[in-house]
Amino acid sequence: MTKSSDGLAQAPVFKKLTAVDRAELIRLAEVKTYRKGEFICWQDEVWPKALYIASGRIEWTMLSPDGKRQVVFGLGAGDVVWGHSLFDDHPMPASLEVMARCQVYQWPREVAMPIVSRNVEAVWDVSRLLVLAMRHVREVVYGFAFHPVAGRLARLLLNHYQPIEGQHTPRDLTLDEMAATVGTSRELVCKVLYRFADAELIRINRTEFVFTDRKKLEELAGEVS
């Protein structure tokens, strides 16, 4: 396994480090590969680490006591995660679940913090990343508070597929994945998708979507007042 500094030199926080500090972090990184379905950390586990995603896809997910899953936000190549436990020694409020095979660089607190602290602009970047993560979490809160399932599903379709009207788009989210993201059941997702199709907002088959009325979807998602 090779440790490349290319991606890291562009990533938030790490790009603000001096080349020497970055090289030291790369040398001290624990490089790991995870398969789809594996967990990098578990909700309720103390995980005082910083993580850089070199490739793949990860989701920040929460589980209810009876096993219901809620996706809070997704992360991909180039993204950086600062584990909450790194700041307060408390257990993580969510799990990091691997959605597509990924390679990550990770550092325990005692390695990451002293090196990052030598570059105060990099610490400022950590605070900006946390602000961004908080915005993701808050968007989910507002979705639940103000939007019915149809609105949340419309927003997911718009955000995930970034659709161009009339263009065929391969379906890469299962009904279960959509349900976990908008906080409902696969049956209701299926029903609402067919309702969208009946209202001619989308056309749908087993493998593809065609988005036929983006504006109406945006209205449903609450993005147009």
Q: Which lies closer to another protein via its Cβ, residue 40 or residue 126?
A: 126
Q: Give 188 or 197: the residue with its C-beta nearer to another protein.
A: 188
* Residue 110 interacting with another protein (CB under 8 A): no
Using the rule CB under 8 A, is 138 a contact of another protein? yes
Alpha carbon distance 222, 225 (integer Å): 7
Size of the site for another protein (CB under 8 A): 40
Site string for another protein, 85-104 (x = CB under 8 A): --xx-x--xx----------
Q: Does 23 bind another protein (CB under 8 A)?
A: no
Q: Compute the least distance from the CB of residue 20 to another protein, in Å.
A: 17
Interface residues with another protein (CB under 8 A)?
62, 64-66, 68, 70, 72, 82, 84, 87-88, 90, 93-94, 113, 117-118, 120-121, 123-124, 126-128, 130-131, 133-135, 137-138, 140-142, 144-146, 183, 222, 225
